[in-house]
């Protein structure tokens, strides 16, 4: 993407949150990463998100994140829009990565700095300083998992900052979703940050979703989203219900651990997680295997397993 206007135009639909595959030595496996990217682009995903929280950016060095951005954009080019997570607790790193992401043609995704006792005014000042650094604008990620939840009123204030093109909303409280959809729809692109419960935000008028579990269930989650996008809520609901047992395991054992384990069962190269995350337990893997086999037995899922 060349500028903010193109970012606004193309920022919609279903984006795969691409896990970062680490090899047995802990290095990023770029061959596997490219394979996973090509899979979802080939299936028809509207975009990808790289190096986010489920991409394990907090356990990467700044140099690794620079390399990740560069390698991914060399692979993708301009085929689909790419969100590049430039979040961090050190604004110096955020500034560098945000500038790089925009220069490469990606859209930087930025969270509030996750430091203790930061004030609302300081959060606004932070985004005012960061937004102009990217020629493609920035996407604000409202990520309660890092300890800061931006209220709808705060998001309205941040929406006035030039260069802010969208919000990825991780607070899925129905009241917050309703307020954001009705106050900000049409002004910014609105993305639901979770595929575990995206039907409600889409019904409220959000522009798209980002999905981690599509690393393991790309066909099923894409079909669910397309049905909702086409106004077929009954089909979307039925397909979403189809993978409830998988979602229960994901909530219990964590993402991206479960996604990578499920990818392996399909012959996909999710790789390992980095500490402090740990691979799922033997018991969890057995339960996952049962769930994946059940999904594979239903032709609607599109799931096939190796072995």
Helix (H) or strand (E) holding 203: helix 199-204
Catalytic residues: 141, 168
**Counts for the chain of helices (H) and strands (E), in that order:** 13, 8
- CA distances (Å), 290 to each of 70, 204, 246, in order? 38, 34, 10
Q: What span, in angstroms and rounded, lies between the C-alpha atoms of 209 and 192? A: 5
Q: How many residues does the chain have?
A: 307
Give the contacts of 276 (CB within 8 A, at least 6 positions apart). Answer: 59
The one-digit pLDDT tens for each residue of the chain (307 residues) are: 999 999 999 999 999 999 999 998 999 999 999 999 999 999 999 999 999 999 999 999 999 999 999 999 999 999 999 999 999 989 999 999 999 999 999 999 999 988 888 899 999 999 999 999 999 999 999 988 777 899 999 999 999 999 999 999 999 999 999 999 999 999 999 999 999 989 999 999 999 999 999 999 999 999 999 999 999 999 999 999 999 999 999 999 999 999 999 999 999 999 999 999 999 999 999 999 999 999 999 999 999 999 7
DSSP letters of 149-181? ---HHHHHHHHTSTTEEEEEE----HHHHHHHH
3-state secondary structure of 4: helix
CB atoms within 10 A of CB 264: 18
Place of tokens 């140099």: 63
What is the token pair recorded at 29? 């496996």
Q: What span, in angstroms and rounded, lies between the C-alpha atoms of 130 and 86? A: 10
pLDDT tens-digit profile of 281-295?
Answer: 999 999 999 999 999
Q: Are 250 and 258 in contact (CB under 8 A)?
A: yes
Q: What span, in angstroms and rounded, lies between the C-alpha atoms of 3 and 279? A: 40
Q: What span, in angstroms and rounded, lies between the C-alpha atoms of 19 and 34? A: 11
Beta bridge partners of 84: 50, 108
Q: For each of the domains in the chain, give its residue range(s) and CATH number, in order of start.
A: 4-232 (3.20.20.70)
27: left (phi over 0), alpha (psi -120 to 50) or beta: beta
pLDDT tens-digit profile of 189-215?
Answer: 999 999 998 999 999 999 999 999 999
Per cent of the chain over pLDDT 70 is 100
Q: What is the pLDDT of residue 245?
A: 97
Q: What is the pLDDT of residue 116?
A: 80
Q: What span, in angstroms and rounded, lies between the C-alpha atoms of 160 and 167? A: 12
pTM of the complete model? 0.96
């Amino acid at each position: 993407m060349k500028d903010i206007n193109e970012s606004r135009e193309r920022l919609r639909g279903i984006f795969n949150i691409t896990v970062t595959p680490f090899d047995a030595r802990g290095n990023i496996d770029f061959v596997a990463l490219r394979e996973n990217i090509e899979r979802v682009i080939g299936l028809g995903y509207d975009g990808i998100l790289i190096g986010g929280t489920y991409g394990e950016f907090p356990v990467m060095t700044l140099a690794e994140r620079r390399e990740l951005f560069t390698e991914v954009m060399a692979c993708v080019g301009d085929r689909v829009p790419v969100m590049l997570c430039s979040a961090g607790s050190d604004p110096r790193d955020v500034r560098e990565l945000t500038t790089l992401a925009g220069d490469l043609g990606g859209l930087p995704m930025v969270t509030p700095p996750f430091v203790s006792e930061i004030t609302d005014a300081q959060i606004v000042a932070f985004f005012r300083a960061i937004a102009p650094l990217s020629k493609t604008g920035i996407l604000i990620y409202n990520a309660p998992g890092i300890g800061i939840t931006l209220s709808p009123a705060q998001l309205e204030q941040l929406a006035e900052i030039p260069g802010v093109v969208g919000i990825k909303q991780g607070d899925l409280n129905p009241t917050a979703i309703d307020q954001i959809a009705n106050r900000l729809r049409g002004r910014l692109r609105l993305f639901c940050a979770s595929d575990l419960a995206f039907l409600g935000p889409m019904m409220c008028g959000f522009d798209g979703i980002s999905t981690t579990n599509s690393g393991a269930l790309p066909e099923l989650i894409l079909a669910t989203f397309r049905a909702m996008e086409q106004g077929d809520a009954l089909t979307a609901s039925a397909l979403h219900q189809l993978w409830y047992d998988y979602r229960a395991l994901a909530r219990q054992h964590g993402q991206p651990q479960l996604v990578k384990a499920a990818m392996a069962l399909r012959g996909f190269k999710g790789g390992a997680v980095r500490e402090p995350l740990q691979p799922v337990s033997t018991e969890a893997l057995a339960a996952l295997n049962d769930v994946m086999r059940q999904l594979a037995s239903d032709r609607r899922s599109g799931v096939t397993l190796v072995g």
